[in-house]
Chains A and B, each alone.
Chain A
Amino acid sequence: QKEVEQNSGPLSVPEGAIASLNCTYSDRGSQSFFWYRQYSGKSPELIMSIYSNGDKEDGRFTAQLNKASQYVSLLIRDSQPSDSATYLCAVSWGKLQFGAGTQVVVTP
């Protein structure tokens, strides 16, 4: 059974701090990795995609991929209350497999 694992949270982060989210996956053949944000009652929206080892930055978000250790992480710098949401990790191995998500709560 191929799996994508995330801590469910909630991850409580003070406003202005860095939120660090982790995701591990079971299939070494995975090619593409995605982070989606989902607000309560809404559908997932893409934040980042990453395909090769290392870091990828986009604004306040940084995705980090380590294929050897089979994990992908997301850092949110200068966290804002509007970042409060559930963050879904998705990994592809022929089709996209989603983790159950990590809930992030940014406290003022």
Chain B
Amino acid sequence: DVKVTQSSRYLVKRTGEKVFLECVQDMDHENMFWYRQDPGLGLRLIYFSYDVKMKEKGDIPEGYSVSREKKERFSLILESASTNQTSMYLCASSFFPGLPTDTQYFGPGTRLTVL
């Protein structure tokens, strides 16, 4: 079974803090993704990566950055957290290189609250 893990299930941070969300997958998947999910808006893609050290902007990259130093790990960084970044953050991975349309498998999610 594919396993995607995220570092925290719940996180509370203060406005202006730098926040790191970690995601690890154990299936040697090439592609990794970060989404946020808000009521009524569905899942929105923040960033994705096809390979180590590469990244592509998704639909809503503003206020976020990412890092992929190792194939299995994809980190989402909020440089200066703001209250409008309070959300559920979901990491996903998929197998086929360069084929982001392949089936994606999701981690359990991190519910981030920014006060």
Interface residues of A (CB under 8 A from B): 8, 31-32, 34, 42-46, 49, 88, 90, 92-96, 98-101
| Majority SS at the chain A contact face | loop
Q: Report the bound CA distance from A103 to B42 in whole Å.
A: 12
Please give 10 more A-B residue pairs, beta carbons under 8 A apart, in addition to A88-B42, A95-B45: A8-B40, A31-B101, A34-B103, A42-B108, A43-B90, A43-B107, A46-B103, A92-B100, A99-B42, A100-B42
| Residue among A45, A92, A98 making CB contact with B42, cutoff 8 Å | A98
What's the count of A-B pairs with C-beta under 8 Å?
A: 46
| Majority SS at the chain B contact face | loop
B111 to chain A, nearest CB (A): 8
Interface residues of B (CB under 8 A from A): 33, 40-43, 45, 48, 58, 90, 100-109
Which residue in chain A gives the minimum CB-CB distance to B2?
A46
- Most A CB within 10 A of own CB, among B41, B43, B58, B108: B43
**7 closest A-B pairs (Cβ-Cβ)?**
A92-B101, A100-B42, A43-B106, A98-B43, A43-B109, A32-B101, A95-B100
